[in-house]
A = this chain, B = another copy of it.
């Protein structure tokens, strides 16, 4: 399969658009040269993509004699996306362009335990406010992406037995939002995609867990060309998001990346809230660190406290964080042997604790993994910080709506991209 499916497939305007997603402007003649398509075909496809706003003329190329040629480029402002990062106690929503770049944002405290209706009504209202703030029309919105703090069945958008989200189990999140915002999501339960009554065409609502969303955000924003990446969130809980072959690996029931309850070697006696013993998050998560600091007479009540203590030079705290990093590293060494990623990104609220955490991870992973698997491995801190969630949620939507098939479908129907 090497290279076969990644090769450029020039059929249809949607296929041609894939080439322009790199952001580089090209003239029609350059496209003819790059694709081998007939000049008239290129002209028609460029026109079709212009008609739905995805391509725009951006001035003329330097001429080698004769008339100068118009250059066209991807217009990421053509439509907007909502990316939402819903945590236990915070809601962070961004309106982004088609590259997942935030145009405006709203972050407010919410309470996930209030249940799905008030939280999703808040998200719907916030979406309306962001559209108004940015002066964009409802018809400009091509999709909504949502990250939730628990397991989600991505294919239906329903949370699955989420431990910290009472009332959310199997709740139909896309349906609630679609109703609140009068959207046609184009999902099978709505009947045919893009029913004639909708002015906007289908606007999909896609949902996933917060760690997968952060992995997508960090991959898109900081490592777009990396094929195999492991994103590890280290906070109160510990989890991972896996990029395999450039795509998110969700697993059979969407449970992939659940590292928090993997056995941490040598800690069989530590009880975990899941009912098992020796789980990684019970040994190396935020609460485990605060407990170990307590034994040193140091009081930390939050992950932020731990980060502050490390930054202010508390040596016992730096030691405790580094030891947590080593324990996480023992589990990650197995992940490296299994997956052979080229980049591991460490994110989450404890990643702010300077180099202490990541140094512990590196120490064990490089010591324990096979030389071949670590020959080109980088272990780096996350760079998107608090924005990883909203960027990732928006990226989930743009990857969904900017495929060749969906662009062709949009052109063939009403010009809505979805």
Contacts and interface: CB of A to CB of B under 8 A. Distances in A.
Given A338-B339, A405-B9, A1 B248 contact: yes
Nearest to A206: B2
- Copies held by the complex: 2
Interface string A383-408: 00000000000001001100111100
Contacts of A12: 11
A249 B244 contact: yes
A269 interface: no
A266 B333 CA distance: 16
Interface stretch (A87-95, A318-326, A371-379): A371-379
A254 B340 contact: yes
Using C-beta atoms within 8 Å of the partner chain, give the interface range for chain A: 35 or more
Interface of A: 1-2, 4-5, 7, 9, 11-12, 15, 151, 154-155, 160-161, 206, 227-228, 240, 242, 244-245, 247-259, 261-263, 265-266, 274, 276, 330-331, 333-335, 337-342, 368, 370-373, 375-377, 396, 399-400, 403-406
16 contacts: A1-B247, A2-B206, A4-B400, A7-B405, A160-B372, A228-B252, A240-B338, A251-B339, A253-B340, A253-B376, A255-B372, A255-B373, A258-B337, A258-B373, A263-B368, A334-B335
* A-B interface, 8 closest residue pairs, ranked by CB to CB distance from nearest: A251-B340, A11-B11, A252-B342, A256-B340, A255-B340, A255-B373, A4-B403, A255-B372
